[in-house]
Chains A and B, each alone.
Chain A
Amino acid sequence: MKATHNEKIDLKIVQQEIHSLLDKFHEAFKTWDIETVSNMMSEEMLYMGTDQTEVVDKYGFIKDATEFARHLNQNLTYNIDKRIVRVYHDANSATSIEEFFEPLFSKTMSYRMTVNWILENDEWKMDFVNWGMITSNEQVMKIDEAMRNS
């Protein structure tokens, strides 16, 4: 059931809808199905990768992801370790937070992907996608030392 703008909205239904969309996103992303992924994004989406220079719009993402997929030439294998979906009270936007390891990219630090979802013409779209890296506080000193000496 799709919650629409004018209904009295059950936030749990919206939450379930976002969960399903996230599953769809990861299934497509892991196999580099860029068309499916980009169709889930709003035209004004802002995408930020883990490298501080990776700040692109939707079409920058499509270009970079297509090139990267061609270069990598293999599917991703990560599983989601943690997921939180927060729907705002107006039910017109939501935030999702997910954490996972992708050994192809980093064997030590996990990823945190945060997404801002907006309701556009009764369809949920990703309006902001942010990938960051997270690690335990104890490991930050080790990383700093290694990077200083590299």
Chain B
Amino acid sequence: MNLKLFVVMVGVAVLVSCAPNPPKSEVDTKVVEKEITALLDEFHSVFVELKIDRLSSMMDDDGLFIGSDPTEFWDKNKLIGLWEEAKQNTSDQFEYDIDKRVLKVSKDGLSCIVVEQFYIPYWSEEMPFRLTTNWIKSDMSWKINFMDWAFIPYNEDIATINTALKEEPVTD
């Protein structure tokens, strides 16, 4: 072997061995979004049918779940209990279509905030909901760690709402 070529090869080998570790592969946001989107579709499908076992398995044991009424702050067990009660006490059906969905995946790819907007006429025909969920990846599976239901009326409807409620604030 040519000595010059050998020296160059050794030099390259030394440089490569001394180089810093390559950066960790970047999170493929599209893959995470696809996973979460499939779970969201499933969540809404089992929610309208109140399939409690599946709903429960999608929720983190330490999660916080809050409803659109200021008194509604629940842990997982409390919420599951309410859903079980609702399932036994009502034969009402409700359905809805998602009007808007936005996903925001964290840089480490281990959590994702989701915002969805939709009407559920069964609860309110006039005010849409915004459902915010925070999904956390734990032990290779995604769980809902935080859920927030709130109303999002148009700004121009606020005066009508104030009149309807006679300007009496409601606190919990």
Q: Which residues of A contact B (CB under 8 A)?
A: 46, 48, 50-53, 55, 81-82, 84, 86, 88, 90, 92-93, 95, 97, 99, 101, 105-110, 112, 114, 116, 118, 127-128, 130, 132-137, 139-140, 142-148, 150
Contacts and interface: CB of A to CB of B under 8 A. Distances in A.
Contacts of A93: 106, 111
Contact of A106 (B102, B132, B150, B158): B158
A90 B163 CA distance: 46
B164 A145 contact: yes
17 contacts: A48-B130, A50-B153, A51-B155, A84-B73, A99-B172, A101-B171, A106-B158, A106-B161, A106-B162, A108-B164, A108-B167, A116-B113, A128-B104, A135-B69, A135-B165, A147-B157, A147-B160
Contacts, number: 154
A143 B161 contact: yes
Interface stretch (B18-26, B90-98, B117-125): B117-125
B71 interface: yes
Contacts of A46: 102, 104, 113, 115
B149 to A, nearest CB: 8
B153 A99 contact: no
List the 10 shortest-distance A-B pairs measured between CB atoms, nearest first: A132-B150, A146-B164, A108-B165, A147-B126, A107-B167, A150-B160, A52-B152, A144-B126, A51-B155, A133-B151
Interface in B28-77: 64, 66, 68-71, 73
Contact of B148 (A81, A112, A140): A112
B78 to A, nearest CB: 15
Contacts of B69: 134-137
Given A52-B130, A128-B113, A146-B161, 4 more contacts: A50-B152, A95-B64, A132-B148, A147-B126
Interface in B132-148: 132, 134, 136, 145-146, 148
A109 B151 CA distance: 10
For A84, A97, A110, A144, which residue has the most chain B Cβ atoms within 10 angstroms? A144
A61 to B, nearest CB: 15
B128 to A, nearest CB: 6
Contacts of A143: 124, 126-127, 153, 160-161, 164-165
B4 interface: no
Contact of B123 (A136, A140, A142): A140
B127 A97 contact: no
Contacts of B158: 105-106, 109
Contacts of B130: 48, 52, 130, 132
A148 B71 contact: no
Contacts of A86: 64, 146
B124 A81 contact: no
A39 to B, nearest CB: 20
A48 B98 CA distance: 17
